[in-house]
Structure 1
């Protein structure tokens, strides 16, 4: 159990609404759907109403600093079945990267791989008190796109399981290219934070607003225990077509 999962949830009941692709950019086709992730009839490009409003606010802030640039949404709402699919896929990828065979793993090997995976992926818990952030409709994975439609180089791809994914990985690097990566990550964080989002401690691309992780981070920042999660696991009745 991660520290933020102890934060109480008081869901405000906001619906899940579609992210329009006119103000921000949406990755098409969606990366996890291409892999066969079981979305069913559900689109990944949905957010809670308040979270979507904040995303558009962040886009407006970006426009002020970099005219023509857009926030590109890589992923947003993630049903539990998709969370489970991606965690299992990532686990197998990491097993194979070590030259191991999944069917012959020892308990220690399995534990070592999973410890690395859950630095970047939330456990697909069925417990309504500990929902994965993306399953609340309050978390999203984003990057930046220039006015010419080029995806900005952040120094590592989204979802990479490595130290390069940590937000400040390139902060102390002496090379100009690495410093540019850090500048891009800093810009993304600044525009998202200006709209109220908070960045995942281990992932330069993951931001949330109103979920348990966000509330835990706000408590750490303010030393105030009043922050609660506004969004829990999104149920079917919150879906707006």
Structure 2
């Protein structure tokens, strides 16, 4: 499996988002439904990471908005032979967002006992957004517009990307490997994979959260912020239920 030419282009540095500015962007709802990614044909794969890890409230499926689903398919179909796209998480319930935030916050408190509450919040928000169901400022993953992805090989095995999914460390920053002065062979390989993932996703209109090589957005406020738009398309979303159908 050879690395394509696109992997020779470094991932550019982007500043962390200003969450106040992001949450202040207007949302003009586009009522696209949430759809299960498991419907997708090869080479798009699904591995609902949080359900597999036993996170309370996690659903055993990855749901995204229909427009995100179609873009992910285009990304997967455009990858070079021998590469596949794996969706690890998309829409998530508020309960899962709260659990992830609270858990990481407590880990940060134990690791950095000298930090005050504000600094701990900043450290936590580097990797987990504040839980919010506010229709004017929802957490990105609660909209169905945020998606966590990685690459796999022709056998479906996930490739080494330089850090683990959800690893709360500087190595998870998208451009971390670009800043190494003398990367070894393993790091160069991971850097090439990150570049491929980043450029393939961005070519289909996604934006990347700079602190997480796996996190991409389309249509939500974070996407609007990084693309310079004044409006987002996706607000909070909920799964369709039999009760809601009967009520309709």
Range of TM-score over shorter length: 0.7 to 0.9
Give the TM-score taking structure 2 as reference length: 0.81
Relative distance call for 1:231 and 1:148 in structure 2 (3 A) is: same
The residue aligned with 1:26 is: 46
Question: What is the CA deviation profile of residues 13-45 of structure 1, one whole-angstrom value per residue up to 9, with x for unaligned ones?
Answer: 0000111254212225x3345333214xx5541
State the distance in 2 between where 1:129 and 1:81 align: 19
Q: 1:203 and 2:212 equivalent? A: yes
State the distance in 1 between where 2:55 and 2:187 align: 34
Contact kept? 1:171, 1:179, Cα under 8 Å: no
What's the RMSD between the two structures over aligned residues?
2.3
Deviation at 1:238, TM superposition (A): 9.0
> Per the alignment, in what secondary structure is the counterpart of residue 213 of structure 1?
helix
State the distance in 2 between where 1:91 and 1:218 align: 29
Give the TM-score taking structure 1 as reference length: 0.84
The residue aligned with 2:68 is: 51
Contact kept? 1:76, 1:137, Cα under 8 Å: yes
Contact kept? 1:16, 1:238, Cα under 8 Å: no
State the distance in 1 between where 2:129 and 2:225 align: 15
Relative distance call for 1:203 and 1:153 in structure 2 (3 A) is: same
Q: 1:186 aligns with which of 195, 199, 210?
A: 195
Relative distance call for 1:159 and 1:118 in structure 2 (3 A) is: same
State the distance in 2 between where 1:129 and 1:197 align: 21
Contact kept? 1:69, 1:146, Cα under 8 Å: yes
Where does structure 1 lack aligned partners over 5 or more consecutive residues? 101-105, 220-224
State the distance in 1 between where 2:116 and 2:105 align: 11
Relative distance call for 1:195 and 1:89 in structure 2 (3 A) is: same
Where does structure 2 lack aligned partners over 5 or more consecutive residues? 1-18
1:88-237 aligned within 5 A: 88-98=102-112, 108-173=115-180, 174-175=182-183, 176-219=185-228, 225=229, 227-237=230-240
